[in-house]
Amino acid sequence: MQKSNQKVVFYFTLLMLGLVGSIKDLYAQKKYPQFGIDPLNEVIAAMTIEEKALMVTGAKRREVYPIALPGKKQKNIVAVGGYTYPFLHLGIPPIYLSDGPAGVRIAPKRMGEKQTYYATAFPVATLVASGWDTSLSKEIGEAMGHEAREYGVDILLAPAMNIHRDPLGGRSFEYYSEDPLLTGKMASAFVQGIQSQGVGASIKHFAANNQETSRRYINTILSERALREIYLEGYRIAVQEAKPWTVMSSYNKINGVYTPQSKELLVDILRKEWGFDGFVLTDWYGGDDPVEQMKAHNDLLMPGLQVWTDTIAHALRYGDLSMDVVDQNIANILNVALKTGTWKNYHYTDKPDFEKSKEIARRVARESMVLLKNEHNVLPLNKGSKSIALFGNYSYKNLPGGTGSGAVNYAHAVSVAEGLNHAGFKIDPTLAEKYMTYLEKGKLIVEKADSLITAMPQRDSILGELQFSNLDIETSAKESDVAFISIMRIFGEGGDRKIDHFNLTNEEYTLIDRVSNAYHAEHKKVVVLLNVGGVVETASWKDKVDGILLTWQSGQEGGHAVADLVSGRFTPAGKLPTTFPVRYTDVPSAKNFPGTPARNPTEVVYEEDIYVGYRYYETFDVKTSFPFGFGLSYTAFDYTDFKVKKASEGRAHIEITVKNVGQFAGKEIIQVYAKAPIGKLDHPEKELKAFGKTRLLQPGESQTLRFEITPRMLSSFDTDASAWVAEKGSYDLMVGTSAASVVENGKFRLKKRIVTEKVSKSLAPQVEIKALQPAKRKR
């Protein structure tokens, strides 16, 4: 931009913002206290009512975006999630926000520039959680934080932390798990990784936002106990362990109150109980009353509407909103602004280290994919299996992630075919030609994804599976050594799935049948690759194939990661962070998801209460297709020297030695579950309390894993007492390789009931909830 044009935009911006009438006065710095130099309360006091209303409602006018403070680098970032207003006379910079659950989300093209600005598409959160390795999550965060920093982004709107309550949840790919501990630990590591790069994280969507249907107004009705134990606990862990700069409130109501308008949620719980000291921003256009949002200390309303600004200014002017409340909200925002790269004038390069990001994306994907079935050791492919027949559209096209604000504008995604070719395998050329010709019919619906929710699927994602004659398949079975079938499911923001999307299509069932019959007739094997954003039905067809590798949505390096595993260069080590039910009707939320009335639900009652995921299946003895925590390896492990040692203050220490007794180097994941004694409260049959992963163990090598169990970890939420309580009595402490497979167990006794934390009475439901009740257990 030429200097003359810069001046025009600059002066125009000042007039539009109504900052002052005299340009001369703006440059008389002594007239105005300066942000970062003078006391913050003086800077805030110098703001007019209109400026304060602008500060808390997000930048609305595009002409303010490129304006830089004197001496600061001017930014030209396109299609970030949003901005806050700058106030040049006070030295207040804008804060640049970008979506980012699976990669930095910016537009690839900028007006008047030839450079293309891509970002790395990393594995989705569900896949990262399948690694059960916080160090991997932290590495992903570091890489994404690096890319954000080098693109001039101040805050990544990530990670997303809602619970996998129901398999039909459309946004599940952005979320980690059905379990709050696993969710909290993975998110905490991710936040630490992002913020180690000088970029802020924004944990979202706070809270109980577990569906997309009617998401802007659905009233989530649930017990205080379920809210605390299942839907808030992961957030608590992330807030207290990682100290994120920001929290994003959700769209929904909790027990009748919109979350951005709930002082009980945002002040009593988030700030007072958990010690959060950053700022809270809304999800885009969240809530319905900007004044109530201010009073609840939802500090920033995004993306900013003029009516919100006017409403807040009017309320301040006529005493309907306390100036002290808004001043505190502004202070919360500006205290974070002092940490940003924009304020520190970081000279970003627009050239992130993509090679390093690609390596991390590939490594995390291969360490987290889950081997669900491996009959007769079909995988890894032996040295003689060089010819592979690839069936399924998405064998030739990688779907790296979901759609919506979790999508990424990446340069290239490596398909399974590309990855296997690169690894030296021969791909059936006849099949490849037919599929590639078919896929060329698919064109982008939207060529440029440069706003919040415009990343659209491609048309080939809704085309039916390419049909083959029996002769084609039989010929392929004679000429190829093994068949791979890729099954794809795209997930996205803004809508939940239908039951037909959970089940396979008739074409997919038919393809599995025909390929399996033909290859088995030739005494050859069939492997299914699940390139899916969430749980799908597997029970009806898993016995027809020899192997199943769950790749989830594995990011842009997914094809290389698949090749790394099927070639045997690396051993699968992932385990499920969520349960695969036999059928959808087995799911505990199936009877009430997504709420009532059926066509346009306005409320959803969490009748399953605390019995979410494996807590339900284990307690109510419901068979699953694949249980929580399940995953196979190419090698085998023994578990010995299990010990439970009582320590001081009601603590226990657990030890177990894991030995690789197989033929491949590999890693093992250990899960520690607890079963509480019978007492005042009902309890699930088992609950995850800790987990750990060994280093890479060579055949014959051992490692001892150690865990500490505290009374707080054993506590449940007693609604009557508004307290976390560890019941008196004997606890079963179990070490498992999944929720359904316990390899060692021991006893630990608490001599007395321990109140581990007393909290506020908050967000109580106004109606009675008829929650699930387990049968009385026998000890």
Residues annotated as catalytic (active site), given as ranges: 283
Interatomic CA distance for residues 63 and 66, integer angstroms: 7
- DSSP code, position 544: G
For residue 653, give both structure tokens.
């220490």
Q: E strands along 633-728, which residues?
A: 637-646, 652-660, 669-675, 687-693, 702-709, 716-718, 723-726
Interatomic CA distance for residues 531 and 391, integer angstroms: 13
Chain-centre distance of CA 400, in angstroms? 14
- Residues 6+ positions from 213 with CB-CB distance below 8 Å: 495, 496, 594, 595, 601
Interatomic CA distance for residues 370 and 667, integer angstroms: 13
Distances in Å between the alpha carbon of 46 and those of 89, 194, 309?
Answer: 10, 34, 18
Long-range contacts of 584-590 (CB under 8 A, 24+ apart): 584/167, 584/168, 584/499, 584/502, 584/503, 584/537, 586/617, 586/622, 586/623, 586/624, 587/166, 587/167, 588/612, 588/616, 588/620, 588/772, 589/165, 589/166, 590/166
Q: 213, 589 in Cβ contact below 8 A?
A: no
Total residues belonging to the chain: 779
> Which strands form 253-254's sheet, in the order they lie side by side?
257-258, 253-254, 219-221, 603-605
CA neighbor of 302 nearest in space, from 186, 157, 482, 411? 157
**Residue 605 belongs to what H/E stretch?**
strand 603-605
Interatomic CA distance for residues 673 and 564, integer angstroms: 32
